[in-house]
Amino acid sequence: MSIARARLYPARHDLIREGDRPGPVFIVLDGWACRYKILPNGARQVLAFLMPGDSCDLHVGLLAQMDHCIQTITPARVATIERGEMDAMMENHPNIARAMYISQLVDEGTMRAWITSMGRRTSTERVAHLMCELYLRARNIGLEMDGTLSLPLSQILLADALGMTAVHINRVLNDLRLQGAMALRRGNLDIIDPDMLVRIAGFGDGYLHRRLRLA
């Protein structure tokens, strides 16, 4: 991959939109991004959060058009790899191909966990589960420090990811803080009692395939 093709994008910039022809593979180098869809009534559903090291849409080039959008959440440095170069890289370097396939499988496992949350977890369990996931993912890439994570996600963005209103998620976050499990203050996520947060969420990290624990 040529880092010379990395570019800095401002926050809330669409890298690609639903209906566009699929472009290159995006790799987030710095900053946060998300996948999302817009409903006909204007409501937004966030489908995934992307952190540094995450790649986007390995095989979407097989389709005629994008079925979702990808947008930066913060200012982000994003590298692009053209489809032909990616295909050649995966064909000539089996270890790279394996890493990309594993990454895609983890993405699919994460989506299954989100679907389970939306369908079967209570609102409190849903919020706690997402916080556990984001904490573990961030810790794995060195973004966490002493139980605190800089979390650049507004309550509106979290609500769009969890199928809740901003008022409801604010109430749930306050409840989790009062219980002494976690606190979200000024863009920082503090894990106060990891064991309690895991119990509330019913969280298991197997779908992330990282062998990490909140401890």
Q: Measured between alpha carbons, how far is residue 161 from residues 7, 123, 153, 197 in Å?
A: 26, 12, 10, 19
Instruction: For residues 40-48, give the mean pLDDT.
Output: 96
Q: Residue 72: beta bridge partners?
A: 33
**Average pLDDT for 132-136:** 94
Q: Is 145 exposed, middle or buried (0-12, 13-18, 19+ CB in 10 A)?
A: exposed
Name the residue with higher pLDDT: 63 or 149: 149
pLDDT band at 215 (very low <50, low <70, confident <90, very high): very low
Summarised one tens digit per residue, pLDDT across range 83-103 is 888 888 888 988 888 888 888
Residues 6 or more apart in contact with residue 5 via CB below 8 angstroms: 79, 80, 81
Q: What is the mean pLDDT of the segment spanning 19-23? A: 88
Q: Give mean pLDDT, residues 133-156.
A: 90
Determine the pLDDT at residue 211.
52
* Res. 61 pLDDT band, cuts 50 70 90: low
Q: How far apart are CA 194 and CA 190, in angstroms?
A: 10
Alpha-carbon gap, residue 43 to 37, rounded angstroms: 8
Span 153-183, pLDDT tens digits: 999 999 999 999 999 999 999 999 999 999 9
Reported as a pLDDT band with limits 50, 70 and 90, residue 119 is very high
First to last CA, the chain: 35
For the record, the structure tokens of 3 come out as: 């880092």
Whole-angstrom Cα distance, residue 149 to residue 137? Answer: 10
Give the C-alpha distances (Å, rounded to integers) separating 176 from 13, 147, 193: 32, 16, 10
Where does the pLDDT of residue 212 fall: very low under 50, low under 70, confident under 90, or very high at 90 and above? very low
Measured distance CA(32)–CA(4) in Å, rounded: 20
pLDDT of residue 56 exceeding 90, the answer is no
Helical ranges in the chain per DSSP H:
83-92, 94-120, 123-140, 155-162, 166-178, 194-201
CA distances from 186 to 128, 140, 145, 162 (A): 18, 23, 16, 20
Per the prediction, the chain carries an average pLDDT of 90
Q: Cα separation of 42 and 201, whole Å?
A: 30
What is the structure's pLDDT at 26? 92
* pTM for the whole structure: 0.91
In angstroms, the CA 62 to CA 133 distance is 30
